[in-house]
Chains A and B, each alone.
Chain A
Amino acid sequence: MKKRILFYATLVLFTISISAQNFTGKITYKVSLNFTEKDLKELELNKDKAVNTMRQVLSNSKDTDVILNFNTYQSYYKVVNKLEINDRKPLNMTYAIAGSGKVYYIDLITKKNYMQECDLLEKCYLIEQPKLEWQLTQQTKIIGGYVCYKAINSNSKNKKQKPVAWYTPQISASFGPKEYFGLPGLILELEEAAVVFKAKEIVLNPKENIEIEKMLGTIITKEEYNKKLQKSYSNIYTN
């Protein structure tokens, strides 16, 4: 009898393991600027010199779509339509903050969280992202039919607002936009100081194969990378 129980238990675990390996998904987020006409009017009331700059930001920062592909252990994030130089507008902050030409990669097994940058220096770099600490709460809301819980990125250094994630335990993928991951469910909404990411389409286990592209580049810390940038573009930092 014990042998039979052990056999079935092993079979169940094996089945769960196989299905977990095959779990894939694709989520598209709409990224919008967290700065409105109302905020602009408040600036105008204060007669701030920043009004013209922020008017240009509002005018050029159109909503941007980004995509997150994932399987059980890895995710790959990028902007859907990378803008060519001629299509870019000055101070398009939504596109910039959404990631522009950068790609984000997370591997839960190796616990790696990289941002790939290929456009600025002589080669591609995989820049290590800071470790995230989350404060989980019991606050809930429904997004697209999924019950989502609120979590706050408690170790964020942002002085204006700590990032707030709404994740659903109903989709057991521990990923989200950009470098955000590590929650007990998929992030469907993320509010940063400057932009908001909102899920607009979720596809789970699609028929098409979801490939998590292998990232190439030299691994580097964010601090070291910033030093290289400052060295390469010293005229801009000092002028």
Chain B
Amino acid sequence: MSFINATATNDEILPTTKEAIEVVEEFGCASDCTRSTRAAHIMAATILGVDANDYIDEYLLNYAACYYNCIG
């Protein structure tokens, strides 16, 4: 079998709908939690007058809590 004359298509073929939804959901949680946690962390640090980078350990834990809540 040769692929030389094969034509490209933009249609994405997904193995199963269920798996695809799970993958999308996971990425959504990751980026949503990153954005929301980072925004809250930076805002709190700014108002309190501290450098947010000094408390990145707390930020990571808050992010992890958000992520695990999100993916349920």
A and B bound?
yes
Contact of B63 with A236 in the complex, beta carbons under 8 Å: yes
A147, B57: Cα distance in complex, Å? 37
In the complex, whether A119 has a CB less than 8 A from a CB of chain B is yes
Contact of B48 with A91 in the complex, beta carbons under 8 Å: no
Contact of A233 with B48 in the complex, beta carbons under 8 Å: no
For B, the interface residue count at a CB cutoff of 8 angstroms equals 28
One digit per residue, 1 when the CB lies within 8 angstroms of any chain A CB and 0 when it does not, for chain B 20-43 equals: 000000000011001101101101
One digit per residue, 1 when the CB lies within 8 angstroms of any chain A CB and 0 when it does not, for chain B 35-68 equals: 1011011011101111001011111111111100
One digit per residue, 1 when the CB lies within 8 angstroms of any chain B CB and 0 when it does not, for chain A 121-134 equals: 00000000000000
- CB-CB nearest in chain A for B34: A239
**Interface members, chain A 69-110 (any B CB < 8 Å):** 85, 88, 90-93, 95-97, 100-102
Dominant secondary structure at the B interface: helix
**Interface members, chain A 216-239 (any B CB < 8 Å):** 226, 229, 233, 235-236, 239
For A, the interface residue count at a CB cutoff of 8 angstroms equals 38
Which residues on B are within 8 Å of A, measured CB to CB? 30-31, 34-35, 37-38, 40-41, 43-45, 47-50, 53, 55-66
